[in-house]
Structure formats: structure tokens, C-alpha cells
């Protein structure tokens, strides 16, 4: 039997091994489909219905989109200037720079800033998470770290410096919130100084803080020493100069007080030397003669004596009016003498009191002079210690100022500038349409298309595995002999006739 045959319907040559699904003509294909139409429709309907059912039962998910714009990147240049060995400048970011930055959107630091937000980690990331409220904050944050890693994606827009941030969540409002928080966290993370720059700033800051602590300690020690030694300034020589000026003033006042005391003693001795029985000598004293009471009493004696003298011109001493006037004159003399004696004693007491007060004043001036001399001597002894404290204070102050100057210079030179200038170009809005499951029309189209494909595949596979000869062409190809006639299946013919009736 020949290995080749000629199909009388097509006139082409075929090898017995070159057959697919046992049919190569359009009639054979349609015959296979018609014969297995029940299987075809069953597979199509069942698969389409199952696909539609499971697709509609997919969990709802919403995708929020935010945009981040990259402007420039910081570059460091080495200069020949010894005072400013480094120079920083920004350059525009290229597409490779933006592509490299996309890898950092999933950085742990970015997700950690969002996961540590109390507004975020208090809620459960997935719908079904039992006993969420009983978990610790660390466990909640760890769950959110895993959830953010799975729902977050970043894609660059070609030929631009924009990156699209997408976050998928089962809540539209939360999807927009998380997309914005992730964008803000990334911008905040990348606008911080780089590790090398930050280490330099940290080292200078630590040096500045240590210098400041040493300076404050020197200030405290110097102030404590000044308080302990009762100093008003950082120079003992200034204090000594002031004390010497005060001592000169005290010496002058002491000399004046001593001179006044000597005069008061001389006056007291001269007054006390007067005989207290000699009224004429007592009244000769300036303090007594200027006494108003004594002057009034003398005037009263003069008047009484004049009246008595006039009365004696008219009567004798034995007459009552004369006696009465004589008695008034004697009483006036008695009062006058008593007043003179009291004034004399008061003068002595006054002079003695003045001497005592002036003596006390002189003694006080002497004590102040002695204290001033002792203070001058003490200051001379503490001067070396004070100088040492002042030198240490000046050294610590200069060290602190130098450390502060270095830190300020580092900050001004760009060491604290962000490595990348990036901003949130567009905030995510609350999505109105869900991303999962797809729309009903799309699910229907996919269900029908995939059902058709699967039904056709099932029919052809079943036809390929079926060994029966359904068409004359299959018989000729299998047997290698031409078909002379065909006999219709009587059972099938009778069933068709009954159906027609």
C-alpha cells in the first residue's frame, strides 16, 4: 500500500503521518464541530459562567495614584581653595537618575514612616484580621510593613522626571491616603542629608556640644569661685583698685572724725573745768548765754526788780505789796539759777554724748580700714587662682566659638543640603472606579472569548482522540483507497424523520 494518496476533493498529496485532528479540509472541521456541538456548548457555557461567577467574587480593590517630581541632584566638587576645599552644586536629573531613584521607593525607611503613623497602624491592613486590637504596636507596624510592600508600586513616565506612585487597597479613601503618605515619606526621606553628609554634620555637632558643655562648666566654676571669694569681676586687680580708693576715702573720714573728736574733748574739758557754783562763769559760756529760756528768765527778773524798786519808792519792806513783789523777785532768781544749772548740766551731757558718738564713729572707721586692708591682702592671695580660672574660661570659650564656626561653615557649604531635590507633584485623589474586579462588560467579554477558545480546544482534542471515521475524506486518508459510496445511518435517519413529523 502506498504511503501517499491523492485526496479527490482537494487534489493535494498528503503523507499518512501529516495530519492534525485527522481533518485538513473545511468540511471535516465543520463536521467535527457539528458532531460534538453538545460538548462545545457545554464547555462554553460552563466555563463562561464559572469565569463570570469567580471574577465577580474577587475582592474589591481601588488604585490611587500620586506623582513625584525629581528636579536635581547634589554633586560635590573638590576645589584648590584651602579655605573652601569642597563646593556643592545641583544638576538636573537624567532618566537613569530617575530610574535609580525608583528602586528607593520601596526602602524600609519610607515604609516605616508610614507604618509608624498612629493614623495608619491603628487600623487593620486586611479585612479579616482577628484580634487586631489586642496586638502590640510593634506587631501592628510589622503587619503594615508587609502590607505596604505588597500594595505599593512606582513607575517612571518615559522622557520625563516624573514618577507615578500607585497603591492598591480595598478602601478608596485609604488608598488615596496611603499613596499620599508614601509620597510624603519618600520626599521627606530623600530631602534629608545623605549618610556621609549627615555623619559629618553629626560629628561637628557632637564636637560643638562637647565644647559648649566644657565652656558652660568653665563658666560655672568661674562664677562659683567668684561667689565664694566675693568677687564682682574676673580681675582681682580691679577689685583691689576699688578697695584702695575706698580705703583712701575711709582714711580721710577717719582723720576728720579724729580731729572732730579731739575738738569735742577739748571743749568738754574746758566746760567741765568751770565752777558750777559760779553763775557768772556759767552764763559766760556761749551755749548758756544763747539759751532762750535763760534770756526770758533774765527779762522776767529785770521786770520784777523794776516793779519792786518802784514800790519801794512809795512804801517800806514791811508793807504787804512790797513783800509780795520781793517774793516774786526771789522766785524769778531761783528759777533763773535753776535754769542756768540745768542748761550747764545739759551742755555737759550733750558734749559727753557727742564724744561717745564720735568715738564710736572713729572706731567704726578704724574697723573698716582694717577690713579693707584684710580684703586687699586676701585678693592678692586669690589673684593667681582667679587668673587660672579666667585663662581656662577664655580657652573654653574660644574652643566653643571655633566649633560653632566650623559647624556653621559646614552647613553653609552644602553639607546639610538634601542629596536630591524632590517634591510631591500631584496628590492622589480618591478613586471613583475600582480596579478589581473589572467592569461587568469586560468580564463578560473575557468570559465569552476564553469560553470560545476553551470550547474549540476541547472539541478538537476530543476529535483528535476519537478513532472513528466520520467523513469519506477520513476514510480515504486512513485506508488509502477511494470511497465509492456512503450508507447513511438508518437509526439517525429515522430519528430525524420522527423529529420532522
Alpha-carbon gap, residue 157 to 140, rounded angstroms: 34
Phi, psi of 73 (to 5 degrees): -125, 140
Q: What is the pLDDT of residues 405-433, one digit of tens each?
A: 877 776 665 555 677 788 888 888 888 77
pLDDT at 213: 92
pLDDT at 225: 84
Nearest of 113, 65, 63, 66 to residue 423 by alpha carbon: 66
pLDDT at 23: 39
Q: What is the pLDDT of residues 259-291, one digit of tens each?
A: 888 888 887 787 777 766 676 676 667 777 777
pLDDT at 16: 42
Q: What is the pLDDT of residues 19-36, one digit of tens each?
A: 433 434 666 677 777 777
Q: Do 292 and 339 contact (CB within 8 A), yes or no?
A: no
Alpha-carbon gap, residue 236 to 229, rounded angstroms: 10
Determine the Cα angle at 482 with ends 479 and 485, to 5°.
Answer: 110
- Which letter does DSSP use for residue 3 in this model? S
Contacts of 250 (CB under 8 A, 6+ apart): 365, 368, 369, 372
SS3 state at 65:
strand
pLDDT at 18: 42
Instruction: Give the position of cell 466555563.
Output: 47
476's grid cell: 480515504
Determine the Cα angle at 492 with ends 490 and 498, to 5°.
Answer: 100
| Biggest CA pair distance of the chain | 216
Contacts of 342 (CB under 8 A, 6+ apart): none
Q: Which residues of the chain have pLDDT under 50?
A: 1-24, 493
The pTM of the full predicted model, rounded to 2 decimals, is 0.44
For residue 5, list its beta bridge partners: 14
Q: Where are the beta strands (DSSP E) in 309-443?
A: 420-426
Phi, psi of 277 (to 5 degrees): -85, -15
pLDDT at 114: 83
Amino acid at each position: 500500500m502506498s504511503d501517499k494518496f491523492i485526496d479527490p476533493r482537494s487534489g493535494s498529496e498528503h503523507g499518512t503521518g501529516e495530519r492534525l485532528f485527522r481533518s485538513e479540509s473545511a468540511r471535516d472541521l465543520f463536521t467535527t464541530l457539528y458532531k460534538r456541538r453538545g460538548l462545545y456548548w457545554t464547555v462554553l457555557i460552563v466555563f463562561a459562567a464559572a469565569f463570570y461567577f469567580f471574577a465577580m467574587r474577587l475582592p474589591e480593590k481601588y488604585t490611587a495614584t500620586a506623582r513625584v517630581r525629581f528636579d536635581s541632584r547634589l554633586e560635590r566638587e573638590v576645589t584648590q581653595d584651602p579655605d573652601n576645599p569642597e563646593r556643592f552644586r545641583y544638576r538636573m536629573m537624567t532618566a537613569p537618575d530617575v530610574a535609580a531613584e525608583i528602586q528607593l521607593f520601596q526602602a524600609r525607611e519610607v515604609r516605616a514612616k508610614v507604618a509608624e503613623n498612629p493614623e495608619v497602624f491603628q487600623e487593620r491592613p486586611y479585612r479579616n484580621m482577628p484580634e487586631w486590637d489586642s496586638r502590640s504596636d510593634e506587631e501592628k507596624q510589622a503587619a503594615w510593613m508587609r502590607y505596604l510592600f505588597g500594595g505599593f508600586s512606582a513607575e517612571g513616565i518615559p522622557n520625563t522626571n516624573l514618577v507615578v506612585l500607585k497603591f492598591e487597597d480595598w478602601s478608596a479613601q485609604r488608598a488615596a491616603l496611603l499613596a499620599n503618605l508614601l509620597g510624603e515619606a519618600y520626599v521627606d526621606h530623600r530631602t534629608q542629608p545623605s549618610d556621609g553628609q549627615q555623619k559629618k554634620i553629626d560629628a561637628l555637632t557632637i564636637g560643638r556640644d562637647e565644647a559648649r558643655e566644657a565652656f558652660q562648666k568653665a563658666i560655672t566654676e568661674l562664677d562659683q569661685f567668684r561667689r565664694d571669694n566675693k568677687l564682682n569681676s574676673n580681675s582681682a586687680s580691679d577689685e583691689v583698685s576699688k578697695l584702695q580708693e575706698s580705703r583712701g576715702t575711709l582714711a580721710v573720714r577717719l582723720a576728720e572724725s579724729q580731729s572732730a573728736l579731739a575738738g569735742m574733748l577739748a571743749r568738754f574739758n574746758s566746760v567741765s573745768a568751770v565752777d558750777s557754783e559760779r553763775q557768772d562763769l556759767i552764763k559766760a559760756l556761749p551755749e548758756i548765754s544763747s539759751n532762750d529760756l535763760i534770756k526770758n528768765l533774765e527779762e522776767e527778773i529785770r521786770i520784777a526788780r523794776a516793779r519792786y524798786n518802784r514800790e519801794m519808792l512809795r512804801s517800806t519792806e514791811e508793807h504787804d505789796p512790797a513783800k509780795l513783789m520781793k517774793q516774786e523777785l526771789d522766785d524769778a532768781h531761783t528759777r533763773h539759777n535753776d535754769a542756768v544749772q540745768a542748761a550747764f548740766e545739759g551742755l555737759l551731757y550733750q558734749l559727753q554724748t557727742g564724744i561717745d558718738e564720735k568715738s564710736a564713729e572713729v572706731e567704726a572707721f578704724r574697723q573698716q580700714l582694717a577690713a579693707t586692708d584684710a580684703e586687699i591682702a586676701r585678693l592678692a592671695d586669690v589673684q593667681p587662682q582667679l587668673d587660672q580660672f579666667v585663662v581656662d574660661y577664655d580657652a573654653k570659650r574660644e574652643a566653643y566659638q571655633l566649633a560653632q564656626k566650623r559647624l556653621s561653615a559646614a552647613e553653609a557649604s552644602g553639607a546639610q543640603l538634601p542629596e536630591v531635590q524632590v517634591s510631591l507633584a500631584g496628590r492622589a485623589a480618591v478613586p471613583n472606579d475600582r480596579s478589581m474586579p473589572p467592569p461587568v462588560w469586560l468580564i463578560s467579554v473575557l468570559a465569552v472569548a476564553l469560553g470560545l477558545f476553551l470550547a474549540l480546544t476541547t472539541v478538537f482534542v476530543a476529535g483528535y482522540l476519537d478513532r472513528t471515521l466520520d467523513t469519506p475524506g477520513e476514510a480515504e486518508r486512513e485506508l488509502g483507497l477511494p470511497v465509492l459510496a456512503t450508507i447513511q445511518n438508518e437509526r439517525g435517519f429515522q430519528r430525524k424523520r420522527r423529529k420532522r413529523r
